[in-house]
Amino acid sequence: MSTDRAPHAPVLRALPTIAHLDADAFFAAVEQHQRPSLRGRPVLVGGVGPRSVVATASYEARQYGARSAMPMEQARRLCPPSTVVVVPRFAAYAAYSARIMTALREVTDLVEPVSIDEAFADVAAATGPETDLRALATRIRERARELSGLPVSLGLGRSKLVAKLASEAAKPGGVRVVAADDEDAFLLGLPVRALWGVGPVSAARLDELGVRTVADLRRQPLDTLLLVAGEAGGTNLYRIARGWDDRPVSTVRERKSAGAEHTFDTDLHGRSAIAAALDPVVDAALARLERHAVAARTVVVKVRLASFTTLTRSVTLSRPTADEGALRDAAHRALRLAEVSEPVRLLGVAFHALSEHAQLMLPLGTDDHDAPAPPTAEAAPTTSPTGPARATVALLAPGLDVETPADGRGWVVRVGDDGRVAVRFETAQTGPGYQRWIDPALEDLMLVEPLGPDGEPLRATATDDDV
């Protein structure tokens, strides 16, 4: 191997001043914070249908082998009968996420959210020669818990790579600081699968070579890694095995999508009515796309059923386009892929894979790719009502927020076959509450917005087209 081909070590910062914050078992932790009776119990957050998957498993559920992305039926078989399954409540999770990110932004403006439950931050400007970095990390962690009520883990390293691995090593709810002199000792014993860029396929190929740890990976010559993972992948493996990662924390948010959605006053029935109602939503999404002067290649349609189940389907074109006819047709094709057979309460259209360069579209042909959304977007009940609504059995699912005039706030534990629902009346402020069965046809049971970390109801907000 020519030494000219080998990557050169980047110049990294001297101190571990890149932070990675990760909220532990985030969705489940929010549920346990707001519903005191769930604390210490196995909790699975995800869909309740026969093909549903687990979005998050609490640490108690993980002890039985449940994990994210596992089929819900499999997770329920692994866990004991006391396990509670609830549907996701994204409005609540977003409110908690904002509080957690505030803990970082109180220290530095250089915060880069990676997802709803994790972010990088560059804290170099908040440190000096005498700064105790472990104390700083602990202060951020405790501040996040103070603001949100949730446990978080925080890692500090000289790079994003090491900082993320450090926060993973700190779970649950801990702090890990990896200084320059400690990097090799920290990295070399880790399983190779822990590294960014090493997926199941790469890990299987490396395992055939006897590469199971980072130390094993570091011993491999570049030529071997290029044969295993290709030019880009092999070079990346060579770099990350040595902890080489000079990516900065970036606060620039690239526009990823533009779209619109509409909740109907009354549910839509029949495919022709649903298809007709899609056009005004497409018009609104196209207006936003035009406002940003970009083209799109992927069109995603969201359908929320009267049961609060959400379906998403996508159509990817052969090249980016701003042609309204092509994009509108793709939206209708995506809607047909959803195969809607139930009443619909909301339709949404979003344009993804945006580009400043549009190409003239020929008539849609066989080179276009029609596909369902990824499995993580699999149909699952969600909750974002635009305000209190009278609850019916068709609209209820385990985990939804409800309220009665006599009992106050509670959450749906179970929907019975006889039309009654089990509701537990409790909040984070009340402590564990009582449970009783309610017949929505006979009592005033209302679907309501979730509560935020401060215990106040969240306000329904318009959809942000910047995803």
Residues labelled catalytic = 118
Q: Is the Cβ–Cβ distance between 72 and 47 less than 8 Å? A: yes
Structural contact between residues 59 and 24, judged by C-beta atoms closer than 8 angstroms:
yes
* Residue 285 three-state SS: helix
The answer to whether 163 and 18 are in contact (CB under 8 A) is yes
Q: Are the C-beta atoms of 276 and 347 separated by less than 8 Å?
A: no
Residue 191 tokens read as 């399983």
Single-letter amino acid code for the residue at 42? P
* Angle made by CA atoms 288, 293, 297, in degrees to the nearest 5: 80
| Selection from 94, 110, 89, 102 nearest residue 45 by Cα | 89
CA dist 372 and 81 (Å) reads: 33
Long-range contacts of 267-271 (CB under 8 A, 24+ apart): 267/306, 267/343, 267/344, 267/345, 268/343, 268/344, 268/345, 269/343, 271/340
Amino acid at 443: E
What are 403's strand-pairing partners?
409, 446
What is the rounded distance in angstroms from the CA atom of residue 222 to the CA atom of residue 251?
Answer: 33
* Residue 327: CB atoms within 10 Å: 23
H/E run at residue 346: strand 344-352
Q: Which helix (H) or strand (E) holds 217?
A: helix 214-218
The tokens describing 332, both together, are 């209708």
Q: How far apart are CA 67 and CA 1, in angstroms?
A: 42
Task: Report the alpha-carbon distance of residue 380 to residue 345 in Å, rounded.
Answer: 15
In whole angstroms, what separates CA 169 from the centre of its chain? 21
| Of the candidates 347, 412, 354, 345, the residue with the CA atom closest to the CA atom of residue 385 | 345
User: CA-to-CA distance for 44 and 232, rounded, in angstroms?
Assistant: 38
Using alpha carbons, select from 265, 213, 219 the residue that is nearest to residue 238: 219
Q: How many CB atoms lie within 10 A of CB 113?
A: 17
Q: How far is CA 159 from the centre of its chain?
A: 23
